[in-house]
Amino acid sequence: MKKVLFITHNFPPAGGVGVIRIVKFAKFLPEFGLQPIILTSNGYTAIEDQSLLLDLPKNLEVHRVGYSDPAKIKIPLLRSIWMYFLSPFFCFPDGRSLWMKNAYKEALDIIKKEKIDLIFSSSGPVSNHVLAYKIKQATGVKWVADWRDEWVIRPDQNVFPTPFHKMLALKWEKKIIAAADHITTALPLLNDYFRKMTDKHKFTGITNGFDPADFSELSYQKTNEFKILHAGVLYGTGKNHVFSEAIQELNLSDLKVEFFGPGHYLAHAEITKKMQTADLLLIILSPVDRPAVISGKLFEYMAAKRPILCLSPESTATAKMVKNLKAGIVVAPQDKEGIKEAIKNYYEAWQKNELLPPQIDLTPFTRRHLTGKLADVFKEIV
């Protein structure tokens, strides 16, 4: 089997949608004749999810690189000062860059010992790509760089403390795109932006998806409560205050809204069950326009076979997918009256037992199918 070195700072027991993407690739790649070997860290993680460890192949080789991560400081105030004030100024490209020195040495040892055929790095953090760039320069091993989100052009997060930091980031973004042998993205429209940096034809969109094994146990059963569920982080300016005001003004006594994310986190194995028993699944994106963005939760929402209320600008790829696949209703995040009307329509359908599941061909979004696309990229390169 060809051997692929995965470079990923975050890996189980760390949790989160980005980690799930890596876990599912590692789970299914051996079916396509490729052996993943993981290089990861022992650094700080905001979310832990032990259930993801159960998805990994039993013989998966995982190398965990130790380093002193200030983000692991146990005093919350000091940790916050480091992560939100000091790290953005003094760590480039991000606060995870401190692991690169030790990880670089470990990577060279693994490549030599295991005769690695290919390097695969996935961001964020972008330090994964910077590390992979340096490894490629030293070894000449082929490299695929996977982008799960925008970096320099992300409009709804101020990730750069000064114009100098942004200029340096743009320089490195161009270096990564030019040096990688292939670029994969979870946001296919992001490839249009990257193509402006190189004349090489080496871009493949591989969205996030869902694993049918995570949705095999439950089927929806109506209860005496109309349950709306949101899974995951509310990023940037994608806050829920307009939605909350709409809920308060509707004042429906048998309506229940649950947000699961940091502070109220459920293991992935548990949240997929919650999705299947909800009446309505909620996506809230930033009102700031991000045309390429595809919410990672969208695919698992569709797999749960429950209708979706998507609060998003209509220009986003998320909104377009919801509309094109007839998976639910799209309303602008700040349109309180539109939100109220959509919830009321769903609520009335629920009362009449007419809240029907969307009918969608989910085959293109299964993790096995998507890993097959990644395997094709790997095989073409090596």
Residue 304 contacts residue 210 (beta carbons within 8 Å): no
Distance (Å, whole) CA 166 – CA 13: 32
pLDDT score, position 323: 97
Q: What is the mean pLDDT of residues 191-205?
A: 90
Q: What is the mean pLDDT of residues 244-262?
A: 92
Residue 329 lies in a domain: yes
pLDDT score, position 381: 94
DSSP 357-377: PP----GGGBHHHHHHHHHHH
My answer on whether 245 and 119 are in the same domain is: no
My answer on whether 220 and 191 are in the same domain is: no
My answer on whether 239 and 277 are in the same domain is: yes
pLDDT score, position 289: 80
Highest mean pLDDT among 71-75, 141-145, 151-155, 356-360: 141-145
pLDDT band at 87 (very low <50, low <70, confident <90, very high): confident
pLDDT score, position 238: 54
My answer on whether 342 and 375 are in the same domain is: no
My answer on whether 224 and 261 are in the same domain is: yes
How many helices (H) and strands (E) are present in the chain, helices listed first? 13, 12
pLDDT score, position 156: 65
Residue 22 lies in a domain: yes
CB count within 10 Å of CB 253 equals 6
Number of domains comprising the chain: 2
**Taking 70 as the threshold, does the pLDDT of residue 237 lie above it?**
no
pLDDT band at 200 (very low <50, low <70, confident <90, very high): confident
pLDDT score, position 288: 84
State if pTM tops 0.85.
Answer: yes
Residue 356 lies in a domain: no
Q: What is the share, in percent, of the chain residues with pLDDT greater than 70?
A: 98
Residue 361 lies in a domain: no
| CATH at 268 | 3.40.50.2000
pLDDT score, position 46: 78
In sequence order, which residues have a C-beta less than 8 Å from that of residue 13 and are 6 or more positions away?
45, 48, 49, 50, 52, 53
Domain range for residue 75?
A: 2-208+366-381
Mean pLDDT of the chain: 92
pLDDT score, position 342: 97
Q: What is the mean pLDDT of residues 96-116?
A: 96
Chain segment 314-332, per-residue pLDDT in tens: 999 999 999 999 999 999 9
pLDDT score, position 165: 92
38 beta partners = 6, 62
Chain segment 139-174, per-residue pLDDT in tens: 999 999 999 999 999 876 667 889 999 999 999 999
Residue 360 lies in a domain: no
Residue 358 lies in a domain: no
Distance (Å, whole) CA 132 – CA 145: 8
Residue 77 lies in a domain: yes
My answer on whether 172 and 278 are in the same domain is: no
My answer on whether 186 and 322 are in the same domain is: no
Q: Which residue has the tokens 């022992």?
A: 42
pLDDT band at 285 (very low <50, low <70, confident <90, very high): very high
My answer on whether 140 and 123 are in the same domain is: yes
pLDDT score, position 161: 87
My answer on whether 200 and 218 are in the same domain is: no
Distance (Å, whole) CA 245 – CA 251: 10
pLDDT band at 136 (very low <50, low <70, confident <90, very high): very high
pLDDT score, position 239: 64
My answer on whether 46 and 149 are in the same domain is: yes
pLDDT score, position 264: 79
Q: What is the share, in percent, of the chain residues with pLDDT greater than 90?
A: 77
Q: What is the mean pLDDT of residues 63-73?
A: 87
- DSSP one-letter code for 324: H
My answer on whether 148 and 255 are in the same domain is: no
Residue 306 lies in a domain: yes
My answer on whether 111 and 204 are in the same domain is: yes
